[in-house]
């Protein structure tokens, strides 16, 4: 069983950020760059499959600048066997179709695989589209927001999150999955200091985009601007009366004043 897990370098949500600083490779401090936490659930899924299936190999792949070395090394520290970084400092490809073409080309270059795993979305753009787009480029079946995976020969049955519950679907291997942050893979494992130190000494191979047969990376989709949402203007209303009945009346009256349809309440 050969598994490819894609991990993304994102800017730490606690780091100072402006709309002009969306590319992690532009950060002055490497501490500002982190592994997209949703991708850790994908790593956890891959490692649990290894524990179940026995002889398996997990390869972590990241598209990014040298800032992303810490991301692929964290994947190794968690338990991935190999890691690859695709150099993106000069090309700075961030559009979804361009990135998906590069990742698909990387899968083809790796060659032998049974599963391609993604986190369910990223912390920065959060479109949750990468797994479906890559599956289209690879012409493979896909399922998104997967909570559980069961193997049945050359097929898998997965439970995927839908509104109000889950749905079980069957896919032929190889397949592309995005892993939910719930279910069997809800808690990504911690790693030991020994593994972290060993991973820090690991030399990660770096591939150039030009070495991959990704084709044209142009897209008709472009970001016009990114800005913070406007501040909220609503005021918080505090009710201090100790009588529950009075509080309920005050709450309903306030909601009615705000224009909410309260049905039978007059």
Per cent of the chain over pLDDT 70 is 94
d(CA 176, CA 180): 13
- The domains of the chain, with CATH numbers, are 2-211 (3.40.50.620)
* Extended beta strands in 1-130, E state: 2-6, 9-11, 33-35, 57-64, 82-87, 115-119
Mean pLDDT over the full length of the chain: 88
Q: How many residues comprise the chain?
A: 266
- pLDDT-derived band at 91 (thresholds 50, 70, 90) equals confident
CA dihedral 217, 208, 96, 160 (to 10 degrees): 140
* Beta bridge partners of residue 5, listed in sequence order: 60, 117
Residue 226 neighbours by CB distance under 10 Å: 11
Residue-wise pLDDT tens digits, 170-180: 999 999 999 99
For 77, phi then psi, to 5°, come to -65, -30
CB-based contacts of 2: which residues, under 8 Å, 6+ apart? 56, 57, 59, 112, 113, 114, 115
């Amino acid at each position: 069983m050969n598994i490819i897990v894609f991990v993304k370098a994102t800017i730490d949500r606690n780091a100072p950020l402006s709309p002009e600083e969306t590319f992690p490779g532009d950060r002055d401090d490497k501490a500002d760059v982190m592994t997209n936490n949703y991708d850790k659930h994908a790593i956890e899924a891959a490692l649990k499959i290894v524990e179940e299936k026995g002889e398996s190999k997990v390869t972590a792949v990241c598209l990014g600048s040298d800032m992303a070395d810490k991301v692929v090394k964290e994947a190794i520290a968690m338990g991935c066997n190999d890691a690859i970084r695709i150099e993106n400092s000069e090309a700075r490809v961030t559009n979804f179709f361009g990135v998906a073409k590069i990742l698909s080309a990387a899968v083809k270059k790796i060659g032998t695989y049974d599963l391609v795993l993604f986190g369910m979305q990223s912390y920065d753009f959060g479109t949750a589209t990468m797994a479906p787009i890559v599956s289209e480029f690879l012409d493979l079946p896909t399922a998104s927001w997967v909570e559980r995976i069961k193997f049945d020969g050359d097929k898998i049955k997965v439970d995927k999150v839908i509104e109000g519950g889950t749905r079980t679907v069957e896919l032929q291997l190889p397949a592309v999955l995005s892993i939910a942050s719930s279910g069997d893979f809800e808690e990504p494992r911690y790693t030991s200091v020994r593994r972290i130190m060993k991973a820090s000494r690991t030399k990660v191979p770096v591939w150039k985009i030009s070495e991959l047969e990704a084709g044209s990376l142009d897209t008709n989709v472009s970001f016009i601007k990114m800005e913070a949402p406007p501040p909220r203007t609503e005021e918080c209303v505090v009710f201090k009366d100790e009588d529950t009945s009075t509080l309920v009346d005050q709450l309903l009256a306030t909601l009615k004043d705000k224009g909410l349809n309260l049905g039978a309440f007059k």
